[in-house]
Amino acid sequence: MNQATTPPPITPPGRVYLVGAGPGDPELLTLRALRLLQQCDAVVYDHLVSNAVLEFVASAAKRIYAGKRRNEHTLRQEEINALLVQLAQQGKRVVRLKGGDPFIFGRGGEEMLALAAHGIAFEVVPGVTAASGVAAYAGIPLTSRDAAQTCLFVTGHLKDGTADLDWPALVRPHQTVVIYMGLGALAQICQQMIAHGSAPDAAIAVVQDGTIATQKVVVGTLSDIAARVASAGLKSPCLTIIGDVVHMHATLAWFKQAS
C-alpha cells in the first residue's frame, strides 16, 4: 500500500513595491512609503536614498545596495531586474527604493516591465521628485506668472554618456529648465545654451544635496556658473535650475544650508 506523500509547501506570491524616497529629507516621505518600509522583507535601494530615510526600514528586512553612479555600477540594470524577480518569487515583500520619484529619470518603468514579463505583482508609490523638492528648499519657485509659465525637466546624462539635448527647446523664453544629473556636463550645457540663443547672463543655480543638512546652493549666470561651481567644490548629487525664477532665491531662501 502506497503511503501518501506530503506535498511541498506552497510559497505565497511575493510583491514588489516601487517606492519614491523623495530628494533626501525623510520628512518628505509619503505615509504609504513609510508603512511599506516598516513592513517589507527586503529593500533594494539606490545611492540617492539618504541614510535618514533608510533608518525607517524594518530592522529584520534584508538590505541590498544597488546604487549606480556615473561610471560606477554596483549592479547592472539587468541584474537589478533579475534580483527583484528572484526576491518576489521567493515570496518576499520587496521595496525597490529610489531617490526622488521612480518614474522621473529613475528607470522605474524598465523595472516594472521586467516584473510584468514574469507575472510578478507590483505597486508604484510616487515620491517627491528632486525638481520640486530641491527647488522648494532652495527658495526657487519653478513657475511664476511673470517669469515662467512652463517648466521643463531634462536629464543631463543620456544613455550614451553624452549631453546632446534638444537645445532649441531649452532656450525658449518664459520657462524654467531643470536638469537632473547634469553636473559633469555643466560647462558643455551652458556653452550650448548660449550658442543656441540664451543670454550669457541668464540666471542659473546649482544645488548640491538638496533638502538635507549639507545642502549648498551656488547661483550665477550661464557664462560663469561652471567656474563658481568648481570654486565651491560642489559634487553629485546636484540639480541645476535655469531661468528668471532663480533671481527669487536671494529673497526666498529659507532653508539653512551648509557653509
Active site residues: 46, 68
Whole-angstrom CA distances from 136 to 22, 69, 185 are: 13, 25, 24
d(CA 150, CA 172) in angstroms, rounded, equals 10
d(CA 96, CA 85) in angstroms, rounded, equals 11
Q: Rounded to 5 degrees, what are φ and ψ at 110?
A: -60, -40
Strands (E), 113-190: 121-125, 150-155, 175-180
Q: Cell numbers at residue 250, please?
A: 536671494
Alpha helices in 42-160 (DSSP H): 51-54, 77-89, 108-117, 130-137
Q: Cell numbers at residue 37, please?
A: 518600509
Count other Cβ atoms within 10 Å, centred on residue 129. Answer: 24
d(CA 176, CA 243) in angstroms, rounded, equals 5
